[in-house]
Amino acid sequence: MGNTSSMLTQYDIEEVQQHCKNAFTQQEIVSLYQRFCQLDRNNCGFIPSDEFLSIPEFAVNPLSQIIFKVYDTDCNGKVSFDDMLTVLRDLTGQYMSEQQRKEVLAQVLEEAGYTKDSFLVLSDFMKILGNSDLKMEAEVPVD
């Protein structure tokens, strides 16, 4: 996906819907994408976590419930290690090995005080999102 709303195609929208198991309407996806483009001030295709969390509207993480739904891939109200691994797999594709993904996730969970056997409910998830000391950054080349 590009960095302007005009580059968001119907195919892109449907692909996001499929990935999120239709948790979002087409209009919600377009709105979220347009807001992302507004926040991506450097036009680099991502928003660094410190910059994201410095936005006053996000100080209390109002998007955490939306983000939680993306990570809760089996829609059971809990985010498991496997749920997070599924999302990370989709985000990194061939640029990370499965072992690297598992190691990164295990480290992030450990730093947040959880184990790979933990099931995160929304409040746990918000705690991790709000912890500015935790950073899980990886640069992934875009076409």
- Write the CATH number for 101: 1.10.238.10
Res. 77: pLDDT tops 60: yes
Residue 124 burial (C-beta neighbours within 10 Å; 0-12, 13-18, 19+) = middle
Q: Could you give the number of structural domains in the chain?
A: 2
Q: What is the pLDDT of residues 52-62, one digit of tens each?
A: 666 665 555 55
Same domain, 42 and 73: no
In contact, 5 and 33? CB cutoff 8 Å: yes
Average pLDDT over residues 100-107: 88
70 — pLDDT class (breaks 50, 70, 90): confident
Res. 90: pLDDT tops 80: yes
Q: What phi-psi label fits residue 22: left (phi over 0), alpha (psi between -120 and 50 degrees) or beta?
A: left
Same domain, 130 and 65: yes
Same domain, 129 and 64: yes
Q: What is the pTM of this model?
A: 0.50
The answer to the question of residue 121 being in a domain is: yes
Q: What is the pLDDT of residue 10?
A: 92
The answer to the question of residue 76 being in a domain is: yes
Q: Rounded to whole angstroms, how far apart are CA atoms 48 and 82?
A: 24
Average pLDDT over residues 21-42: 84
Range of the domain at 68: 60-134
The answer to the question of residue 104 being in a domain is: yes
